[in-house]
Structure 1
């Protein structure tokens, strides 16, 4: 039987391994000849998402022996509306942080050329943001990892582990960070991003709001402004501030609706059963032959 103390470690390792296994699908897609860049992003994204769904299903059903729907991506009546709301919120977070950065004199508005073509943006950028990153990463981090850690660890530990691990992985991501300071701030920004995503998960009990926020954020981040020379860190600080504020507001709203003890460990399933009534004097059942 696995030790509870080691659970965050081995579940985190399984999450990272599963995510990278899903991403490796891109290597097989790259072997297809004669594919345009747009087609590559779409096919690769579809492959990554399909692989993530398949792997999480296998882990959840075969290893855990539990339904895949527990991960929070089941289709429901509110799925589309929550995904759209999350997309708008993620895009708004980027716009707010970028506006703050410009107001501080650390950047100028410089929308990316890809935003000029609405049809291309809607048919390539949006689906790619959903399929390449949003759905796979949410399934593994806010789906599998969060779902299982939340059953054995206090809420604050679950939030911390999922957010910090998600942020730490971004040390190998491509970004505008050059110096060590900027790279550390980039990880902090990704950690704050993970914080607001897990807040979305906790607020709704499913992944659709988080998937939408993730996609909306990725669609616009680093596409609207051009930071001044040596001022990229200011942009990252603005993103950290806005994302952290969004996470805190989301969790406060959830706390008002359903108060949560952040330091309490979840009650084990066996301990949730109703205590047995005091033993009564045995009597023959009516109609029995005793």
Structure 2
């Protein structure tokens, strides 16, 4: 009698387990960000830090807490390769980061250029030295504080985990929802921990102080969708495309919307001009989605666990 052929054993985790892993990855980001901000405030008060150094401490803490934890979850808990979450080699990382940054800058240039021509945005004095200093310090803080840890955890670990078991559109929407949840969790954790540490407390809430909850959530949703599409814009699925797009978004917004300290003076015709931000993000989404459709995607299924 012929032996029965063994049926293939699936290496994929159950659907609920994949969702739980993704939620854990988002929680790492939310808790890590909130804790780093609170500890950074305590360190600034203890050591008398202000300005750039006061911002650098929590930025270093976020990356130091979040990135190693995500790498541990991916390699040791899940037993999966780091390349699967978009951590490609150095040359591909630089190339795809430039791609993400370039797409967002081009979208902002088109929208803000049109707004400038229409008289909605007026560019006044530009101090080249101050602008270069701002761009350098802003890039360092933005990368360490937000772009690198958020993209490795959310568009890297979370999106990859969800794509292994769910349809593409479900994974993108769920990752975006977890992005919003992580941002809210960071505010709650920061508010609680500042009180435990006995430093100037954050107000309780689910959005940063001074932000309108609805507007803030809507911007995060649009921003999160842009970053999810950025992950698929390159052949390698590099997470560094998301990092570049994230950095460009933060830089443009801070130059245009900051009250000072950027080396550029910008006047907005009315508060409604702020709607240009989601508009240029929408243009970037279309461009990134177009690139993604033209780029062959690797299979979303995970490779078998490493021994």
Bin for the TM-score computed over the shorter chain: 0.7 to 0.9
Normalising by structure 1, what TM-score? 0.74
Task: Indicate the residue corresponding to 1:152 in structure 2.
Answer: 165
Task: Indicate the residue corresponding to 1:286 in structure 2.
Answer: none
Task: Indicate the residue corresponding to 2:38 in structure 1.
Answer: 27
Deviation at 1:45, TM superposition (A): 1.4
Which of structures 1 and 2 has the bigger CA Rg?
Answer: 1
Pair 1:65-2:79 in alignment: yes
Q: Is the 8 A contact 2:143 2:247 kept in 1?
A: yes
**What do residues 21-70 of structure 1 show as CA deviations (whole Å, max 9, x unaligned)?**
32112333333303232012223212211222111012112221223332
Paired with 1:167 and 1:20, the residues of 2 have a C-alpha distance of: 10
Q: Is the 8 A contact 2:22 2:161 kept in 1?
A: no
Pair 1:187-2:217 in alignment: yes
Task: Indicate the residue corresponding to 1:84 in structure 2.
Answer: 98
Task: Indicate the residue corresponding to 1:274 in structure 2.
Answer: none
Task: Indicate the residue corresponding to 1:129 in structure 2.
Answer: 142
Secondary structure, aligned partner of 2:294? helix
Distance 1:118 1:104, change over 3 A: closer
Paired with 1:190 and 1:115, the residues of 2 have a C-alpha distance of: 31
Paired with 1:36 and 1:250, the residues of 2 have a C-alpha distance of: 38
Deviation at 1:211, TM superposition (A): 0.1
Deviation at 1:140, TM superposition (A): 1.1
Deviation at 1:124, TM superposition (A): 1.4
Paired with 1:185 and 1:103, the residues of 2 have a C-alpha distance of: 26
Task: Indicate the residue corresponding to 1:257 in structure 2.
Answer: 295
Secondary structure, aligned partner of 1:188? helix
Paired with 1:93 and 1:187, the residues of 2 have a C-alpha distance of: 22
**Residue ranges of structure 1 left out of the alignment (5+ in a row):** 271-290
Q: Is the 8 A contact 1:168 1:187 kept in 2?
A: no
Paired with 1:176 and 1:89, the residues of 2 have a C-alpha distance of: 30
**Residue ranges of structure 2 left out of the alignment (5+ in a row):** 1-11, 185-205, 257-265
- Superposition RMSD on alpha carbons, in Å? 3.3
Distance 1:267 1:138, change over 3 A: closer
Distance 1:123 1:84, change over 3 A: same
Task: Indicate the residue corresponding to 1:17 in structure 2.
Answer: 27
Superposition pairs for residues 136-285 of structure 1, below 5 Å?
136-167=149-180, 172-174=206-208, 177-178=211-212, 183-204=213-234, 205-224=237-256, 225=266, 227=268, 231-232=271-272, 235-236=274-275, 238-258=276-296
Distance 1:70 1:267, change over 3 A: closer
Number of equivalenced pairs: 257
Greater alpha carbon shift after TM alignment, 95-104 vs 27-36: 95-104
Task: Indicate the residue corresponding to 2:193 in structure 1.
Answer: none
Distance 1:268 1:250, change over 3 A: closer
Paired with 1:44 and 1:35, the residues of 2 have a C-alpha distance of: 12
Secondary structure, aligned partner of 1:56? helix
